[in-house]
Amino acid sequence: MSTTTKSAVIENMYARKSIRKYDTEYKLTKEEISELLTDAMTAPSSSNQQPWRFIVITDEQKKKELRTMAFNQEQVETAPAIIAVLGDTDFHKNARKIHQLSVDAGVMDPEVAEKLTENAETLYSGIPVAARHSVAMYDAGLVSMQLLLAAKDRGLDTVVMGGFNKDEFAKSYNLPENEFPIVLIAIGKGTGPARGTSRLSVEDVVRFV
C-alpha cells in the first residue's frame, strides 16, 4: 500500500474543512445540486434501501427563517444552499422499486430481486421503528460524508450542522410521521478560513487484536 502518492479522493479528505463564511454572490443551480446529490447517493446503505431524503433550501427568505431555527448560525443564511438530510423510517416500502431498478438496468436477475425484496420487507417490517430509525441515521451519515467530498471535488465548501431545532424544522416543513431531520449541510464558495482542527491518533482510538 503506497503512502507517498495520494489519490484525489484522499487529498480531498484531508483538504475538506468545515467552512462557516460564504460568498453570498455565488449561487448554485438546481442542476448542480442535483448532480452533487446523485454523486453522493452512490453511498452504500443497509440492504441498499437508501433511507435518506433531502430538502434543498435556496430561497433567501426560507434560509433566513431557518437561521433562527438553527440558533442563528450565520452560514444557514449566507451559504447559497442548505441541504437538510432526513431519514425515512418507512424506507423498506421502496424495496420492490429499488430491486426492480437493478433488474431494469440488467445488473440483477429477477429471481434474485424477488428474493431480496421479500427479505427486506420481512426483515424491516419485523423490527421496531426505533431500529429502522438507527438504520436511517447511519446510512444518512454515509451519504452526507459523500456529499461533503463531492462538493470539495468541485471546489465547493461545506459545513454539517446538527445544531438546529429539529421539532420546529419537522413542523415547518410538514414532515410526515416517517421522516425525521438529521443534519443541515451548508454548501457554497467558502470565503473564510476554517478553524484549525486536529484528530486523535490511531493509537488513541484503535485496538488491534
Ligand X SMILES: Cc1cc2nc3c(=O)[nH]c(=O)nc-3n(C[C@H](O)[C@H](O)[C@H](O)COP(=O)(O)O)c2cc1C
Q: Dig out the grid coordinates for 131 from the structure.
A: 431500529
Report in angstroms how near the CB of residue 145 gets to ligand X at its nearest.
9
Piece in contact with ligand X (CB under 6 A), picked from 13-21, 97-105, 126-134, 168-176: 13-21
- Whose CB is nearest to ligand X? 163
Q: Which of 79, 151, 161, 187 binds ligand X (CB under 6 A)?
A: 161
Report in angstroms how near the CB of residue 72 gets to ligand X at its nearest.
11
Q: Which of 44, 110, 163, 193 binds ligand X (CB under 6 A)?
A: 163
The residue type found at 25 is E
Q: Is the dihedral of CA 87, 90, 95, 101 positive or negative?
A: negative
- Residue 71 φ/ψ, nearest 5 degrees: 55, 40
Give, as one character, the DSSP assignment of residue 6: P
Helix (H, G, I), strand (E, B) or coil at 77: helix
By the rule CB under 6 A, 160 interacts with ligand X: yes
Helix (H, G, I), strand (E, B) or coil at 162: coil
By the rule CB under 6 A, 116 interacts with ligand X: no
Q: Which of 17, 62, 93, 133 binds ligand X (CB under 6 A)?
A: 17
By the rule CB under 6 A, 183 interacts with ligand X: yes
Helix (H, G, I), strand (E, B) or coil at 94: helix
Piece in contact with ligand X (CB under 6 A), picked from 32-40, 59-67, 98-106, 158-166: 158-166
Piece in contact with ligand X (CB under 6 A), picked from 23-31, 48-56, 90-98, 193-201: 193-201
- How many residues lie near ligand X (CB under 6 A)? 13
Report in angstroms how near the CB of residue 159 gets to ligand X at its nearest.
5
In contact, 148 and 158? CB cutoff 8 Å? yes
Closest of 69, 115, 70 to residue 96, by C-alpha: 115
* Count of CB atoms situated within 10 Å of the CB of 49: 21
Place of cell 421479500: 118
By the rule CB under 6 A, 69 interacts with ligand X: no
Binding site for ligand X (CB under 6 A): 17-18, 20, 73, 159-163, 183, 194-195, 197
